[in-house]
Structure 1
């Protein structure tokens, strides 16, 4: 294994593990059940697969080069993440005895999978990140496409390892996390974080930057 690949694995691991919308959505889904959390984690990895495929194909460059398309992605991503945050905050404000998406006994696995995928694939920062990051680890004289495919596969594999692990850990702590008061607190915090992220994503395109 060459030195640049080892360095990329370290950078990619830090990038994947960094708390953000993906992490928050997985935690929220895992509060419902382990299956929902893992499904959300797989959805996040699916979104990363889309972004890495676009980067390999060079389509991310087109997206960045056309401001209107990039701005549309920013708005769509911001609206969706904000929507998830508002949903979580509404659930946190419900009465103790009322079921909410994060505390319901029956996990909505399909919904969790979809939320994880959309939260990641609508992230407008991902195309920029992959387009700027992947070429830095393609040595001179190495075939670009195979090398980029390898790097992209590393990112997706790390996501498939990290986010299901997060879901399992949240589920293991479920006895404490699913207590009504604790669950509402966690849901309120995650909802607030998602809402803040959504507003941040919306601020730039709506301001015309």
Structure 2
């Protein structure tokens, strides 16, 4: 992969990562409820799903999904249902004990690492449009007349590093000023409701926008 092609890939990856979606909402929600440092676990889960998406596209399965209305809709509705579930769970969640600031290293881990990883993984995985997007995105940066594995590894590393930096450095960090609202039960309910509605709204877009 030439430097010019890689720079184009880098630029596209930054634009894609800054586009708000379920992953960004999940990251901000984690940062508010679990703290900025611990929000990395959800981001790791999202990156694992991204790896699966790229592998699926590289293996040709993505083309099958994009051309099969039954498969595409099945994954689409499953993804929407999962986002609605997450949204309702947030809206109905009972307030918990306040979480201390990360800066004090006194964060009370209300949720396990694996739970956050799993949720991040499924939030990103159950999005068939991500597969379709990568079908259009990847061919622009992969040359068929050159060894493909190194190219895919460079592409995957670039996309993951950029997404982690944007998610953790921007979206998770952007949630930190609102952490003061987690100090009260009313503030927690308000934030849970807001993010719950956002999850449900993204689910609606997933279902109704083709």
TM-score range (shorter-chain normalised) is 0.7 to 0.9
Q: How does 1:184-199 map to 2 (within 5 A)?
A: 184-199=189-204
Relative to the length of structure 1, the TM-score reads 0.82
Q: Distance in 2 between matches of 1:58 and 1:168?
A: 34
Equivalence for 2:67: 65
Q: Distance in 1 between matches of 2:62 and 2:151?
A: 17
Q: Distance in 1 between matches of 2:140 and 2:121?
A: 26
| Residue 99 in structure 1 maps to residue 96 in structure 2 | yes
CA positional deviation for 1:132: 0.5
Contact 1:36 1:113 in 2 (8 A): no
Q: Distance in 2 between matches of 1:7 and 1:132?
A: 15
CA positional deviation for 1:139: 4.5
Structure 2, unaligned stretches of length 5 or more? 101-106
Contact 2:23 2:120 in 1 (8 A): yes
Structure 1, unaligned stretches of length 5 or more? none
Indicate which of 103, 107, 111 corresponds to 1:108.
Answer: 111
Relative to the length of structure 2, the TM-score reads 0.82
Q: Distance in 2 between matches of 1:30 and 1:140?
A: 41
The number of residues matched between the two structures is 200
Indicate which of 43, 46, 49 corresponds to 2:48.
Answer: 46
Q: Distance in 2 between matches of 1:11 and 1:170?
A: 22
CA positional deviation for 1:68: 1.3
Q: How does 1:82-93 map to 2 (within 5 A)?
A: 82-91=84-93
Equivalence for 1:178: 182
| Residue 129 in structure 1 maps to residue 126 in structure 2 | no
The change in CA–CA distance for 1:168 and 1:20 in structure 2 (over 3 A counts) is closer
The change in CA–CA distance for 1:156 and 1:182 in structure 2 (over 3 A counts) is same
CA positional deviation for 1:14: 1.2
